[in-house]
């Protein structure tokens, strides 16, 4: 076979596509010319026909596709080719070395690694040297004895955590199943002996879900299978963890039953520390469904987090109950992951931090109640998971749609990522779609689906419904591609249909239409696609929202109500808000108390957009003498910043900047001591 990396990717794209793929789409995605594309298609077609398949089908004016009945076999044929011709990367070689030294009972020496990884002695020695450096971070080392050959030495718990950290949480291991393919590829060890109990482990974990009345996310379930299988291989060799304690009784009991199932097929010693360690792993696993009783401390914490996020972001979530349920599904596993130091890397967290920085920073500040509950620092990777969840809820709006297409999201990564995909789809298709409740891949396989099309993070080989594969966070190019692929499947309203028909009839009066359906699809794409709204680029800064003209100084106010009115007067006079908005801000404080005080000495009055916010803006009032919002000392305020927000997202960048300023020492003291608008404005610009 003569397929190279690019033609393999093109063929994979054809395999997972549920419709025609246009030449222009592939040329753009792979940055190749029309001639190169034609050459690649001919090469793929030739190889498929040599292998006994029908090849690539081309339909004029539509594009290219593979016969649906052949796709599964083509995929198997391609996977076999990829495995047999694969050249292992340096990272893959080191992962293979670690697993061969820790999860196999055979004696491994340098010569074996040379043969299995198909590299020179010098390369193997270099790989081992680099692996040793990483192992040092876990207080582990590679040793040698004549009986066992090369072995990994150190604390057993650290060996297992290294497997999770280095082998599974690795950017080169895209899917959990890839790790099995990697270690079983071109090795002289009996392949059935590598993670030999994996099918048994999978069945046992299904039972755990039933016993604990929960369902793990697809990604976590597959990961648990590998983690537990690795533990089993270690215990088979007589390696047990020590001094592990877990206080969550129902999970410990489930872990005990799981461990005893392993004892039935292996000669394990009953070990309480192993059971407790297994329970900790189960506790830290993300879920999509949980019917078990939730501890009050988590319920209380989740309510506080939502309240703090609303206060810091100056918004009110519409679906409070659903948000709290989704938050709890992540909060509890995150608590145990951090508490027991079982690191779970979110591969896309740097991307989230960059593209959704406003949400990330506000989320980090809103998690103070969680930090207090843990009494530990919350890693950025965990904050990113919470950010995904809140980001997904920020743009959920109630709307009446004339024509809706039912869209199902299938996501292997959990509810937070599903909500983030929902949010992006709502941005791209604000009036055209009805989003069904997201499903995991396992739920999709178990249930009948009634949707017009599916948006999935994984390829679906057996769907009769159009499927569009996406990454959790879409860049501009991916958004454009998704719009181009989905737009032909929908019209927004009856008026859209009427407009399209009118244009087609007009064109027909003055020309001959060779392919009416093809012209119709192209017109849909041009007329009805939604412009991309890049939130990260359009959210204004605090300096843009709060000009000098809306900064006021005053000695004192009669009470907090008049203070809010005075502070918001510049916005009222310039047409940013209505009088009703002023009244709503006061009513909110009367109803909920002084929740608008974001830090001692400073308040952030605001109301809902529908209360009379016409434009996005801020105004500032600085008082020489404080005004009291209650009889408590902490509720005395000298600075009021009024926010007029037209939605739940656009103002977040300015609020993030404001939060950063407030957190700096001496900020409030500096502002109160200033005498001119220019001084204050310059400070806000910093």
637-667 pLDDT, tens per residue?
A: 999 999 998 877 777 777 777 777 776 657 7
Phi (first) and psi of residue 619, to 5 degrees = -140, 155
pLDDT over threshold 50, residue 109: yes
Helix (H) or strand (E) holding 533: none
| Integer Cα distance of 92 and 173 in angstroms | 9
Q: What is the mean pLDDT of residues 473-485?
A: 71
| Integer Cα distance of 88 and 394 in angstroms | 43
Task: Categorize the per-residue pLDDT at 490 as very low, low, confident or very high, splitting at 50, 70 and 90.
Answer: low
pLDDT over threshold 80, residue 308: yes
Closest CA to 25 of 40, 39, 10, 43: 10
pLDDT over threshold 60, residue 344: no
- What's residue 571's pLDDT? 95
Task: Dump the DSSP string for 115-162.
Answer: HHHT--HHHHHHHHHHHHHHHHTTT-EEEEETTTEEEEES-HHHHHHH
Q: What percent of the chain has pLDDT over 90?
A: 43
C-alpha gyration radius of the chain: 30
Cα-based angle 200, 201, 203 (whole degrees, multiple of 5): 65
- What's residue 537's pLDDT? 43
Active-site option among 330, 489, 606, 651 = 606
- What's residue 37's pLDDT? 92
pLDDT over threshold 70, residue 3: yes
- pLDDT by residue (tens digit) across 20-32? 888 888 888 888 9
Task: Categorize the per-residue pLDDT at 532 as very low, low, confident or very high, splitting at 50, 70 and 90.
Answer: very low
Cα-based angle 657, 659, 664 (whole degrees, multiple of 5): 100
pLDDT over threshold 70, residue 487: no
- pLDDT by residue (tens digit) across 83-107? 777 788 899 999 999 999 999 988 9
Residue with the larger pLDDT of the pair 446 and 366? 366
- What's residue 411's pLDDT? 83
E strands in 213-330? 214-216, 287-290
| Integer Cα distance of 469 and 36 in angstroms | 25
- What's residue 149's pLDDT? 94
Residue with the larger pLDDT of the pair 652 and 581? 581
- What's residue 60's pLDDT? 80
Residue with the larger pLDDT of the pair 496 and 606? 606
pLDDT over threshold 90, residue 173: no
- What's residue 640's pLDDT? 94
- What's residue 236's pLDDT? 93
Task: Categorize the per-residue pLDDT at 414 as very low, low, confident or very high, splitting at 50, 70 and 90.
Answer: confident
Cα 613 to Cα 398, 497, 526, 574, 620, distances in angstroms: 18, 34, 33, 12, 17
| Integer Cα distance of 625 and 623 in angstroms | 5
- pLDDT by residue (tens digit) across 346-355? 556 677 777 7
Lowest mean pLDDT among 180-194, 196-210, 525-539: 525-539
| Integer Cα distance of 553 and 673 in angstroms | 11
Hey, how many other C-beta atoms are within 10 angstroms of the C-beta on 110?
Answer: 14
Do residues 292 and 215 lie in contact, with contact meaning Cβ atoms separated by under 8 Å? no
Do residues 95 and 164 lie in contact, with contact meaning Cβ atoms separated by under 8 Å? no
- What's residue 108's pLDDT? 94
- What's residue 494's pLDDT? 46
pLDDT over threshold 50, residue 518: yes
Task: Categorize the per-residue pLDDT at 624 as very low, low, confident or very high, splitting at 50, 70 and 90.
Answer: very high
- pLDDT by residue (tens digit) across 110-156? 999 999 998 999 999 999 999 999 999 999 999 999 999 999 999 99
Contacts of 637 (CB under 8 A, 6+ apart): 560, 563, 597, 601, 602, 603, 623, 626, 627, 628, 629
Q: What is the mean pLDDT of residues 58-69?
A: 86
SS3 85: helix
Task: Dump the DSSP string for 482-522.
Answer: HHHHHGGG---SHHHHHHHHHHHHHHHHHS--S-HHHHHHH
- What's residue 121's pLDDT? 94
Domains annotated for the chain, with CATH where assigned, are 5-85 (1.10.10.10), 90-193 (1.10.10), 198-288 (1.10.1790), 294-394 (1.10.1790.10), 539-685 (3.40.930.10)
Residue with the larger pLDDT of the pair 499 and 474? 474
- What's residue 423's pLDDT? 75
> Is 606 designated active site?
yes
- What's residue 663's pLDDT? 67
- What's residue 587's pLDDT? 94
pLDDT over threshold 60, residue 400: no
Q: What rounded mean pLDDT belongs to the chain?
A: 85
pLDDT over threshold 90, residue 204: yes
SS3 95: helix
């Amino acid at each position: 076979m003569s397929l190279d990396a690019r033609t393999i990717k093109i063929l994979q794209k054809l395999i997972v596509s549920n419709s025609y793929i246009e030449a222009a789409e592939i040329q753009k995605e792979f940055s190749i010319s029309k001639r190169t594309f034609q050459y690649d298609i001919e090469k793929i077609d030739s190889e498929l026909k040599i292998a006994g398949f029908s090849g690539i089908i081309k339909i004029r004016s539509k594009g290219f596709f593979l016969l649906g009945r052949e796709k599964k076999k083509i995929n198997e044929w391609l996977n076999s080719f990829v495995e047999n011709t694969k050249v292992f990367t340096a990272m893959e070689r080191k992962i293979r070395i670690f697993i061969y030294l820790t999860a196999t009972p055979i004696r491994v020496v340098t010569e074996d690694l040379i043969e299995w990884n198909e590299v020179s002695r010098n390369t193997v020695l270099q790989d081992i040297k680099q692996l040793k450096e990483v192992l040092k971070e876990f207080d582990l080392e590679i040793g040698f004895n004549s009986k066992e050959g090369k072995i990994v030495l150190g604390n057993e718990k650290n060996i297992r955590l290294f497997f999770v950290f280095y082998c599974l949480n690795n950017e080169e291991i895209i899917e959990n199943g890839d790790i099995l393919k990697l270690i079983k590829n071109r090795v002289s060890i009996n392949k059935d002996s590598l993670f030999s109990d994996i099918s048994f482990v999978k069945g046992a974990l299904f039972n755990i879900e039933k016993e604990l009345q929960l369902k793990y996310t697809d990604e976590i379930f597959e990961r648990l299978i590998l983690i537990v299988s690795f533990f089993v291989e270690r215990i088979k060799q007589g390696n047990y963890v020590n001094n592990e304690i877990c206080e969550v009784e129902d999970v410990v009991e489930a872990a005990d039953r799981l461990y005893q199932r392993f004892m039935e097929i292996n000669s394990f010693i009953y070990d309480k520390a192993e059971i407790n360690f297994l329970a900790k792993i189960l506790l830290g696993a993300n879920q999509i469904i949980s019917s078990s009783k939730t501890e009050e401390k988590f319920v209380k914490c989740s309510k506080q987090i939502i309240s703090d996020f609303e206060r810091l972001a100056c918004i009110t979530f519409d679906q409070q109950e659903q948000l709290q349920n989704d938050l709890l599904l992540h909060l509890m596993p995150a608590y145990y992951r951090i508490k027991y130091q079982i690191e779970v890397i979110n591969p896309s967290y740097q991307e989230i931090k960059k593209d959704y920085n406003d949400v990330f920073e506000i989320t980090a500040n809103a998690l103070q109640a969680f930090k207090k509950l843990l009494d530990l620092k919350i890693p950025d990777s965990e904050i990113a998971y919470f950010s995904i969840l809140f980001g997904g809820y920020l743009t959920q709006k109630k709307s009446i749609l004339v024509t809706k297409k039912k869209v199902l999201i299938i996501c292997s990564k959990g509810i937070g990522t599903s909500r983030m995909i929902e949010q992006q789809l709502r941005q791209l298709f604000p009036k055209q779609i009805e989003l069904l409740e997201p499903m995991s891949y396992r739920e999709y396989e178990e249930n009948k689906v009634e949707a017009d099309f599916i948006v999935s993070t994984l390829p679906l080989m057996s769907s009769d419904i159009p499927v569009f594969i996406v990454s959790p966070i879409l860049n501009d190019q991916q958004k454009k591609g998704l719009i181009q692929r989905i737009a032909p499947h929908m019209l927004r309203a009856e008026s859209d249909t009427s407009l399209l028909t009118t244009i087609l009839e007009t064109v027909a009066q003055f020309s001959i239409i060779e392919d009416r359906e093809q012209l119709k699809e192209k017109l849909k794409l041009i007329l009805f696609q939604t412009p991309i709204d890049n939130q990260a680029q359009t959210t204004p800064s605090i300096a843009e929202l709060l000009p000098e003209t809306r900064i006021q100084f005053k000695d004192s106010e009669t009470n907090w109500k008049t203070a809010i009115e005075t502070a918001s007067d510049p916005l009222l006079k310039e047409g940013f808000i209505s009088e009703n908005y002023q009244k709503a801000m006061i009513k909110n404080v009367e109803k909920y108390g002084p929740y608008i005080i974001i830090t001692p000495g400073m308040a952030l009055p605001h109301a809902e957009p529908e209360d009379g916010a016409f434009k996005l803006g801020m105004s500032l009032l600085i008082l020489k003498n404080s005004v009291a919002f209650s009889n408590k000392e902490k509720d005395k305020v000298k600075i009021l910043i009024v926010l007029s927000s037209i939605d739940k997202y656009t103002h977040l960048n300015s609020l993030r900047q404001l939060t950063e300023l407030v957190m700096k020492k001496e900020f409030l003291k500096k502002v109160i001591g200033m005498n001119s608008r220019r001084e204050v404005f310059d400070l806000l610009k910093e």
